[in-house]
């Protein structure tokens, strides 16, 4: 049985979701660790809360979505503020993979200080790129990383729409 084949009623019988706080609690005792009234879920190393239900692992935010909307999300569920444990319904939105990737921080190996900005030694300039729908779009080449980041901020809404996250410009 696929995770999405589980009927809504099974989750409604076993969990309560508070959309204002994002907290998922057990409606009944299901084992020695899943006690009635206790908050459900454990923190996974990925930063998401996960729940074991009928020997399958579910992300807590997806169960919350199911209980609130009455159906599984078709795509991914994005945390708008990027806090993976903040499962308030106002912080969750359905997203494609590309949209979900639009709402990310710069990578750990980034050396320019800005997401989408890298230095091109051949041009002796900083390249500004926006990634959308599995493609990279070069916005231009600039003398400073700050100028490249500002160029990205000026164009990013065109590519990411509601999923736009503007770069924080370092002064």
| Verdict on whether the full-model pTM lies above 0.75 | no
Residues 85 and 8 in one domain: yes
Compute φ and ψ for 62, nearest 5 degrees. -75, -35
pLDDT tens for the chain, residues 1 to 171 = 566 677 899 999 999 999 999 999 999 988 888 889 899 999 999 999 999 999 999 999 999 999 999 999 999 999 998 899 999 999 999 988 877 777 777 777 888 888 889 999 999 999 999 887 778 899 999 999 999 989 988 888 777 777 666 666 765
pLDDT recorded at residue 35: 87
- 131: domain CATH number is 3.30.730.10
What is the three-class DSSP state of 99?
helix
Residues 133 and 159 in one domain: yes
pLDDT recorded at residue 128: 93
What's the structural domain count of the chain?
Answer: 2
Name the residue range of residue 111's domain: 99-163
For the chain, list the strands marked E by DSSP.
15-18, 23-26, 42-43, 49-53, 56-59, 76-79, 92-95, 117-120, 125-132, 135-142
Is 87 in contact with 64 (CB distance < 8 Å)?
A: yes
Q: Name the DSSP letter for residue 131.
A: E
- 88: domain CATH number is 3.90.75.20
pLDDT recorded at residue 4: 65
10 Å CB burial of residue 73 (0-12, 13-18, 19+) is middle
Between CA 74 and CA 109, with CA 163 as vertex, the angle to 5 degrees is 105
Q: How far apart are CA 85 and CA 22, in angstroms?
A: 9
Q: Among candidates 41, 24, 20, which has minimal Cα distance to 89?
A: 20
Is 143 in contact with 151 (CB distance < 8 Å)?
A: no
The answer to whether position 58 is within a domain reads yes
The answer to whether position 169 is within a domain reads no
pLDDT recorded at residue 122: 94
pLDDT recorded at residue 165: 64
């Amino acid at each position: 049985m696929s995770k999405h084949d589980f009927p809504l009623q099974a989750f409604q019988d076993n969990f309560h979701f508070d959309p204002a706080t994002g907290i998922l609690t057990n409606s009944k005792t299901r084992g020695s660790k899943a006690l009635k009234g206790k908050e459900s879920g454990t923190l996974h190393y990925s930063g998401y809360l996960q729940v074991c239900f009928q020997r399958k692992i579910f992300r807590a935010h997806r169960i919350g979505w199911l209980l609130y909307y009455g159906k599984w999300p078709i795509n991914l569920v994005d945390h708008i503020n990027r806090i993976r444990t903040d499962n308030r319904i106002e912080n969750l939105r359905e997203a494609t993979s590309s949209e979900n990737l639009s709402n990310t921080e710069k990578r750990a190996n980034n050396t320019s200080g800005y997401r989408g900005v890298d230095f091109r030694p051949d041009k002796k300039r900083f390249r500004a790129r926006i990634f959308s729908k599995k493609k990279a779009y070069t916005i231009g080449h600039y003398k400073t990383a700050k100028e490249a980041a500002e160029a990205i901020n000026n164009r990013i809404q065109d590519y990411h729409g509601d999923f736009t996250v503007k770069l924080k410009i370092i002064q």
